Structure 1
Amino acid sequence: MNGNSLLPQTTIEKVVYPFLGPDRSFEDVDAVRGALEEAYAEAGYRTVAVNLPQQEVRGGVVQIEVVERPVGRLRVSGARYFSPERMKAAVPALAEGTVPHFPTVQQQLDRLRGNPDREFFQVLREGRSEDEVEVELKVKDRSPLHGTLSLNDRYSANTERLRSTVSLRYDNLWQREHGAGLTWITAPQSPADATVFVATYRLPFGGDRRVLALYAVHSESDVAALGGVGVIGNGDIFGARWALPLGGDASFWHSLTLGVDYKKFDETLNLLGADAVNTPIGYTPFLAEYSATRRDEPGFWQGTVALHFAPRGLLGNDEAEFADKRFNAKPNFVYLNTGIERQRRLPGGFGLNLSIDGQLADAPLISNEQYAAGGADTVRGYLEAEELGDRGVRGGIELSRPIGGVPGIDELIALSFVEGARLWTVDALPGQDDRLQLASAGVGLRLKLRKQLSTAVDFALPLTDASTTQAGDWRWLFALDYAF
C-alpha cells in the first residue's frame, strides 16, 4: 500500500486482515479497496481515493495506491459585507494544499455560522487535476449595521408612562467582527424622569467565541416622590465582561462570564423647607457567572448562577458612603443570584414556560444592588421595580399557543400567565416592612409583521397590594419594536 500518511498502520492492518489468505478473487481485492476508502471516510477524510493500479500480481502481493487529495483551490463567493480572505483564514482545515479533515472543517464552519448576519454552505467538487479537490463557500450575508426603535410603558412610580429606546450598532468593524453600539433611552413625555445613554464595544478573541465586552452607562433623572421629597439621581457605570465558552455540543453548552464594574451615583434629596442632602457613592463590584443550556426533543432547560461581590477600599467602596446610603450597608458586600427556566412544547400546539429566579444576601444592600420585583420582566401588573429587597424569589408560569391563518401577520401568539414574587429586607428599620409579596395573573398577545415589527400586549390583574399598585387594579402593558 503506497501513499498513506493519514491513517495509522494498525488501522490499515485491521481493515485489510479479513481479506488476506489463499484462493482470493479480484472481487476480494476490490472489496479491500472499498473497505479502505470507507475507513478514510469514517476517519473524516472524505477526499481520499483508493485505487488499484494496473499490475501483474506475483507471489500473492497486490499493490494498492492511496491518493490523499488536498484542496487545490478554496473560493469564497457572494460575500458583500465580510472579507473573503478573513473567512478563508477562519477555516484553516480547508487551506490550499491541506487534505481536509471534515469534522474539523465542520467545527470551524460552525464558528463562522455564529454570526447571524452571515450564512453559507460549502460545495465540494473535482479540482483542476484528478489528484485534488476544489471547495467553494457560497455566502449570503447582510449589512452588519442594525438599529432598533422601541416604545413601551415600562415606567416606575411617579414618572410619565411612556419610554422610548433608540439604538444603533455595527457588528463588523475593521473586518474583524468587532461590534460598537449606542443606545438612548428616555421618557419622551418628560425627559427629566429618565434619560440613559449606553455605549458598548465588543471584541471577539480567537476562534472559540471568547468575547470581551466593554460598556459605559450614563443616567440622568429627576423623579418626584411622595411626601414633598424630590430625588435627583445622576449616575455612571463603566464595566467589562469576559465571556468564556466552556464547550459543548448541539444539545448542551455552557459558559463562564467574569466581570467588573465601576459605579458612581450622585443622589440629592430635596426636602421642602430644608437643605438638600447629598448621598453620593462610588464602588467597584465584581461578577462571576456560570450559565448552561440543554436542548431536548420538546424544548430546552436554561440555568444561571452568579456571584456578586465587592472588596472594601478598592476604587471607592468607602464605608462612610455606604452608611450614608443605607443603615448597616457595608462596602464589602456579597450576594448570589440564580435562576432556571424550562420551555417545552405541549400537545395541541401549546407551549409552556416555567421560570424561577432569586437573590440571596446575608447583609443589607444599597438600593442599586437589591433584588427588584414588579414590571414586564418580573411580575406583570405592577410598576417597574415597584418593590426592592435584599433577598427575593420570583416564579412564573406561562401557557402560549400560536394562532395561524391571519392574513398579513407572520406570527400571532396568545398567552396566559401567573407570576409572583416574595422579598425580604435585612435589618429593616422601624415601621418598614421586612417582607413583601407580589402576585398577578393575566393574558397577552405577541404579534410579528415582516420579521421587523413586533408588538407585545399584556392585561394583568394584581392580586396583592404593593407600594403604589392596589390589588384588583387591572393594568395593561405594551411594547412596540421595529428592528433592522
Structure 2
Amino acid sequence: MAALAVASTGLAQPILRPADEGPDAPTPRAMDASASSPPLSPREPGEDETATAADATASLVIRPTAFEVLGCTAFDASEIEALFADAVGRPLTTLDLLALVDRLRDHYWRAGFRTSEVVLPDQSLADGVVRLMVLEGAVEEIVIEGAVHVRSTWYRARLRRATRTPLDVEALTRRLEQLQAEPGVERLTATLVELGPGRHRLALRVEERPPWSLRASASNHRSPAIGSLGGGLEAGIASLTGLGDELRVAGQLSEGLRDLRVSWDAPLTPWDTRVGVAYRQGRADVVERDFEQLDIQGRFESVALELRQPVLRTRTLEIGLAASGEWRKSTSSLLGRVDCLQLGLRDCTPSAAILRLRSDATWRGARRAVALRSTVSVGVDALGATVERDAGDRDGEFVSGLLQLQWAELLPEIPAAPWLDGTQLLFRGDLQLASDPLLSIEQIAIGGARSVRGYRQNQIVRDNGAIASLELRLPVWRTGFQRSIVELAPFVDYGSGWDRRRARTPDETLVSAGLALRVAPTERVHGELSWAHRFRDDLPRGDRLQAEGIYFEVVWDVF
C-alpha cells in the first residue's frame, strides 16, 4: 500500500464558474425578468400604467385547492405535496404565490440543482389548481479543449454521469475534482455557459501532463543474500491508446537480483471500472560470502489479472473493491540441482493459482488521513498448482488474510514553537493470518527498511505476522511555499512472525528505535537515510551497512 501523508498544501483544484457576463448574457436571476410570468388577470384598456406592482398584486386573493408542478423530475409527488401543504386552502395574494415560487426554487437549490429555475406561467385559476413550471437545469453540450494525449470522448463519457438533468452543480464539481486527480491531468478549468432558461453548455479546458515518465532509484533495501546495494528504473507511458490507459515497465538490479515487471492498466467503463494485467519474471542468486560456494539460485514468475471498481467517491472518502487472479511459480536450486530450500516443502518447483478479493478505504481531512486495506487470498487447485495430500505440507491450497492500516496526523500548531508547524505523526500496521502453511512466495517478510528497521532485509519470513511502526516527522527546513526540504523522523518499529505449524520454526519478535533524515532538495529528487538500534543481537546482521542498522534510498523522477 502506497505511503500516506497529510499534505501541507493541496493540488490545484478544478474551477467551475459561470461564463463571463456580457451585455447579452442572461444570468440565473435575470431569467425572472426576461421570462417573467404574465399577470394572472389581463389589464383592462385604459388602466393607469403608473400603478405600482404592489397595487396590482394586492388586489388578487385566491384559495388554492391544490398545487401542480410541471416539469419536475427531481422530486416525487409526495415531497412536492408536503412542500405546499401549508398553502392549500389559505387565502393567497400574488405576492404569496411568488413566495411559493421562491420556496420551490430554494428547495431545488438546497438539493444542489442550482441551475434550475421556477416560474409562474399564465394560467386560469377557475379550477382552484395553481400550476408552477420548473425549468430544470440541463447540459446540452460538452466542449473539451486542450485534450492532446487523452481523447475528448474519454472526458465526455466521465462527465455525462455528472451532467444528467436536473444538473447537480455539487456532483459536477466532485466529478471534476476526481478528474483532476487523474495521473495525466495537470489542471482542469470548467465553465458553465447559459444558453437559455435551464439550458447550458459545459466548456472544459484541460492541461495535461507529459505522457512519459521515468524514475530512477538506488538503495540498500534488498536482502544481503542477493546483494543489498542496487538500483531500479521504472518507465511509463500514459494513454497509449488515448483512452486513459497506462503502460509501465520496471526493473531492479543488484549483484544477485534481476527483476522485471510489465503492467498495463486501462479503464473499462465511465463508472471508473479499470482492468489491469501484469507479468513479472526474475532470478535471485545468493551472493553472500558464507553461502556463495553453494551456488544457490532462485527463479520466479507470475501473471496477474485484476478488476477494480470504486463504489463510493466523495471529497473526503473513497471506497473501492477489487478482484484478481494470479498465477505464481518459483524454482530453487543448490549446486546446480533443483532443491527444496523451504522447510515442509516437497515440490521443489511450487506454483500457486490465487484468487484475491481486496477492499480499500481512504479518508482525507484537513489534518488527518487514514487508509485501510483488507485482502483475502485463496489458493485453488488450478493451472497446475502444487497440491499435497498431507495437510501439514506447504502447497498451493490455502486461505490467508492481510489487513493494512496507515494513519497520518498533522499535529496542532504551537504558537510558542512555530518551527514545529507541519509536524506529522504517522502510524503503519500490517497483520497477516493464514489457515494453512504457505509457500514462501505468499509468506510475510519482517525486517528491513519497509518493516522493522535496524535488522537485515527479510530477517524472518513466516506464515503469519504483525508489523507496526510509529514515526514523528519534524520539519527542519522548508521553502517559502511551506514545502519541507529537510525532515527529521524519530521512529519505533515492531514486528512479530510465526508459522502455522509452530513446532517447525520458533516465533520471532523484532523491535527497534531510531532516527531518519528525509531530504527533498527539489520536487523531483528525494532521499532518506535512517539508522535504527536493534534490541536483539542474536540474529544474523548481514552486510556492513545493514549490520549497523543503516538504510538509505535516493529517488529521482527524471521526467
1:71 equivalent to 2:139? Answer yes
Match of 1:138 among 194, 197, 205: 205
User: What is the aligned counterpart of 1:201 among 264, 269, 289?
Assistant: 264
- Picking from 434, 439, 445, the partner of 2:506 is 434
The aligned amino acid for 2:183 is P
Deviation at 1:400, TM superposition (A): 1.4
Residue of structure 1 aligned with 2:443, choices 365, 370, 377: 370
With over 3 angstroms needed to count, the CA separation of the structure-2 counterparts of 1:408 and 1:46, relative to structure 1, is closer
Q: What's the offset of the Cα at 1:379?
A: 0.7
- 1:308 match: 377
Query: Out of 80, 86, 101, which is 2:154 matched to?
Result: 86
Q: Aligned residue for 2:220? A: 153
**2:352 equivalent to 1:283:** yes
> How far is 1:286 from its partner?
2.5
Matched, 1:476 2:545: no
Deviation at 1:182, TM superposition (A): 0.7
**Is 281-290 or 376-385 further displaced after alignment?**
281-290
Cα distance in 2 between the residues matched to 1:56 and 1:317? 79
Cα distance, 1:219–1:41 mapped onto 2, change above 3 Å: same
Residue equivalent to 2:65: none
Alignment of 1:5-24 (within 5 A): 5-6=72-73, 7-19=75-87, 24=92
CA distance in 1, matches of 2:241, 2:471: 43
1:292 and 1:132 map into 2 onto residues whose CA distance is: 37
Q: Is the 8 A contact 1:19 1:29 kept in 2?
A: no
Task: Provide the C-alpha distance between the structure 2 equivalents of 1:264 and 1:18, rounded to a whole number of angstroms.
Answer: 73
Partner of 1:37: 105
The question of whether the paired residues in 2 share the 8 Å contact of 1:396 and 1:419 is answered with yes
CA shift, 1:179, in A, is 1.5
CA distance in 2, matches of 1:182, 1:92: 33
Task: Select 2:297's aligned residue among 210, 232, 235.
Answer: 232
Deviation at 1:197, TM superposition (A): 0.7
* 2-structure distance, mates of 1:70, 1:248: 23
What corresponds to 1:332 in structure 2? Answer: 397
Take 1:18 and 1:180, find their aligned partners in 2: how far apart are those partners? Answer: 61
- The alpha carbon displacement at 1:115 in A equals 1.0
Which of 469, 491, 499 does residue 396 from structure 1 map onto?
469
What is the CA–CA distance in structure 2 between the aligned matches of 1:63 and 1:330, rounded to whole Å? 73
Cα distance in 1, alignment partners of residues 528 and 512 from structure 2: 18
C-alpha displacement at 1:419, in angstroms? 0.7
Matched residue type, 2:265: R
What's the counterpart of residue 116 of structure 1?
Answer: 183
Alpha-carbon displacement from aligned partner over 1:366-387 (angstroms, at most 9, x marks no partner): 3222221111110112222122
Q: Give the CA deviation at 1:298.
A: 4.1
The answer on whether the counterparts of 2:227 and 2:257 sit within 8 Å (CA) in structure 1 is: no
C-alpha separation between the residues in 1 aligned to 2:198 and 2:409? Answer: 50
Q: Following the alignment from structure 1 to structure 2, what is the Cα–Cα distance between the partners of residues 410 and 297?
A: 16
1:148 to partner: Cα distance? 1.1
With over 3 angstroms needed to count, the CA separation of the structure-2 counterparts of 1:23 and 1:482, relative to structure 1, is: same
Deviation at 1:439, TM superposition (A): 1.8
Contact 2:377/2:401, CA 8 A, preserved across alignment: yes
Question: What's the secondary structure of 2:278's corresponding residue?
Answer: strand
Return the offset for 1:310.
Answer: 1.7
Q: Is the Cα–Cα contact under 8 Å of residues 307 and 335 in structure 1 kept in the other structure?
A: yes
For residue 16 of structure 1, report the CA deviation from its aligned partner. 4.3
1:376 alignment partner AA: A
Structure 1 SS opposite 2:296? strand
Write the letter of the residue equivalent to 2:109: A
TM-score (norm 1): 0.84
- Distance in 2 of aligned mates of 1:355 and 1:396: 5
Q: Which amino acid aligns with 2:302?
A: I
Match runs of 1:285-300 below 5 Å: 285-295=354-364, 298-300=367-369
Question: Structure 2: any 5+ residue segments left out of the alignment?
Answer: 1-67, 341-347, 414-420
Q: 1:389 to 1:75 in 2, by over 3 A?
A: same
Instruction: Specify the code of the residue in structure 1 equivalent to 2:235.
Output: L
Give unmatched runs, 5+ long, in structure 1: none
Aligned equivalents of 2:86, 2:400: Cα separation in 1: 65
SS at match of 1:116: coil
Distance 1:196 1:25, change over 3 A: same
1:341 counterpart residue number: 406
Q: Give the residue type in structure 2 aligned to 1:402.
A: P
Contact 2:308 2:322 in 1 (8 A): yes
Q: Could you tell me whether the CA contact under 8 Å between 1:93 and 1:104 is conserved in 2?
A: no
Q: Go from structure 1 to structure 2 and tell me whether the alpha carbon gap of 1:331 and 1:76 turns closer, same or farther (over 3 Å shift).
A: closer
Match in the other structure for 2:456 = 383
Displacement after TM superposition at 1:477 (Å): 1.4
Whether the 8 Å contact between 1:251 and 1:295 is mirrored in structure 2 is yes
Tell me the C-alpha RMSD between the 2 structures.
3.5
Shift of 1:185: 0.9
Among residues 221, 244, 266, which one is paired with 1:177 in the alignment? 244
Q: 2:325 aligns with which of 243, 247, 260?
A: 260
Distance of aligned partners of 1:368 and 1:85 in 2 relative to their CA distance in 1, 3 Å threshold = closer
Q: Do the aligned partners of residues 171 and 17 (structure 1) sit closer, same or farther apart at CA in structure 2, a change above 3 Å counting?
A: same
CA contact (8 A) 2:215 2:234 kept: yes
The one-letter amino acid of 1:254's match is: I
8 Å contact 1:408–1:449 — kept in the other structure? no
**Match for 1:141: what amino acid?**
E
Corresponding residue to 1:27 among 95, 105, 126: 95
For residues 303 and 50 of structure 1, do their structure 2 counterparts lie closer, same or farther at Cα, with a shift above 3 Å needed? Answer: closer
Percent identity, please: 19
Aligned residue among 457, 466, 469 for 2:529: 457
CA distance in 2, matches of 1:338, 1:66: 50
Which of residues 277, 300, 309 is equivalent to 1:214? 277
- Cα distance change, pair 338–73 in 1 and its aligned pair in 2 (3 A): closer
- State the alpha-carbon separation in 2 of the partners of residues 236 and 132 from structure 1: 56
* Amino acid across the alignment from 2:357: A
| Alpha-carbon distance change, 173 to 24 in structure 1, aligned in 2, over 3 angstroms | same
Q: CA deviation at 1:407?
A: 7.8
CA distance in 1, matches of 2:131, 2:461: 80
- Provide closer, same or farther for how the CA distance between residues 141 and 23 of structure 1 changes in structure 2, counting only shifts above 3 A: same
Rounded to whole Å, the distance in 2 between the matches of 1:234 and 1:46 is 61
In the alignment, does 2:515 pair up with 1:448? no
1:67-116 CA deviation, whole Å, 9 max, x = no partner? 345434432233333222331232225769x5524355345445534413
Code of the residue aligned with 2:157 in structure 1: it is: A
* C-alpha distance in 2 between matches for 1:22 and 1:380: 77
2:176 and 2:188 in contact (8 A); partners too = no
- Equivalent position of 1:246 in the other structure: 311
> What's the secondary structure of 1:174's corresponding residue?
coil
Instruction: Give the CA deviation at 1:231.
Output: 1.0
Q: 1:223 to 1:409 in 2, by over 3 A?
A: farther
Greater shift, 53-62 or 463-472, is seen at: 53-62
Distance 2:126 2:355 in 1: 76
Deviation string 1:172-211 (CA, Å, 9 cap, x unpaired) is: 1322112111111112xx3xx1111100011222233322
Rg comparison, structure with higher value? 2
Q: Quote how far apart the aligned CAs of 1:59 are.
A: 9.5
